[in-house]
Amino acid sequence: MGDQHSTVSVEETAAKIQAAAAVTVLCHVHPDADTMGSALALAIALHRAGTPVQVSFPEPHELPRSLELLPRRDLVVPPAALPDAAELLVVVDCSSADRLAGLSGQIAASDTTLVIDHHRTNTFFGDLHYVDADAQSTTVLITRVLDALGVEIDADIATCLYAGLVTDTGGLRWANPESLLLAARLLGTGINGAELLRGLMDTHPFAWLPMLGAVLGRAELEPAAACGLGLVHTVVLHTDVAGVAWEEIESVVDIVRTSAEAEVAVVLKEQGEQRWTVSMRSKGLINVAEVALKLGGGGHAAAAGYSATGTRDDVLAALRSVLG
């Protein structure tokens, strides 16, 4: 296990990748566009350079519909098809080993685990870490690595990088200057950014609408919670989600967080009998990554999450006590 002393520069990261005879790239469980875009961008570059490379992610090994927009998914293999041990394991967009779920055993089995991530709550669980919490997406970091490797950013790689960049910046809503400059550079390769963004962020099956109706109808506002800054929360029950993929459920919090009266928005998603995953968003006054850390999870200052057990009221009570 590494620690902060195992931090490496972008040049050292590129050199390590260049020296590897074969590379396995792992994404986090329930992959999103940032983890998969990062993995595929790196894999496409390595494949082109003649380095054997494969991408995988933990079970359930089912790619969200929106990520079918990404190129070269033939580089993605199911966990069972991975070698037992990789010479170089690159883990992208994962703040902790548990985000690899059933694939976390790959860390101990590989010669070297290189973690590339932008979560402030990263636990430095590998051997080498290129972690920069000021980067707004892991694809920003992958771009720096590809530049250090002298890789040409073609349309396929640009599509993967752009997918992670736009989704992790809320469709560039909170993009910083580095992100916007990167967006301009990637669009300059000729990719259709509007079509990609619509497919990734603004497209849902019809079943999303009745699910939203039920879930938003039970939203509650607690003006006194979160130090008086206001908390809005709702619950996604198992019975709401028939015919709706988990990625559709992930989008609920982005609607709940628009409530003007609440600094913090929370969605409790029922995973089983008294088992929940909790998504949190803040508007900037409360650091929800710190809240999530205290409750066993992690994330970013404005977007974080954790797992919890108990009744809905137990989970909300524990959350209120941390939020203040």
Interacting residues toward Mn ion by CB under 5 A:
34, 93, 138, 168
Q: How far is the CB of 274 from Mn ion (least distance, A)?
A: 29
- As a whole number of angstroms, the distance between CA 82 and CA 190 comes to 34
DSSP-H helix ranges across the chain: 10-19, 33-48, 105-109, 138-149, 155-168, 177-187, 193-201, 208-217, 246-250, 252-256, 288-294, 312-323
Q: How far is CA 293 from CA 97, 132, 145, 227, 262, in A?
A: 15, 18, 29, 18, 21
Residue type, 191: I
Q: How far is the CB of 168 from Mn ion (least distance, A)?
A: 5
In the complex with Mn ion, the residue whose CB is nearer, 132 or 168, is 168
Cis upstream peptide for 79 (omega within 30°): no
Q: Count the alpha carbons within 13 Å of 148 in the hemisphere toward its beta carbon.
A: 17
Q: How far is the CB of 33 from Mn ion (least distance, A)?
A: 9
In the complex with Mn ion, the residue whose CB is nearer, 96 or 234, is 96
Local structure of 302: helix, strand or coil: coil
In the complex with Mn ion, the residue whose CB is nearer, 34 or 250, is 34
In the numeric block, which tokens belong to residue 146?
A: 């590809």
In the numeric block, which tokens belong to residue 324?
A: 């203040």
Q: How far is the CB of 237 from Mn ion (least distance, A)?
A: 28
Which residue has 């790959």 as its token pair? 106
Sign of CA dihedral 302, 93, 196, 266: negative
In the complex with Mn ion, the residue whose CB is nearer, 183 or 215, is 183
Q: How far is the CB of 306 from Mn ion (least distance, A)?
A: 17
In the complex with Mn ion, the residue whose CB is nearer, 48 or 171, is 171
In the complex with Mn ion, the residue whose CB is nearer, 34 or 270, is 34
Residue type, 320: R
In the complex with Mn ion, the residue whose CB is nearer, 36 or 232, is 36
Give me the residue whose beta carbon is nearest to Mn ion. 34
Q: How far is the CB of 217 from Mn ion (least distance, A)?
A: 31
Q: How far is the CB of 169 from Mn ion (least distance, A)?
A: 10
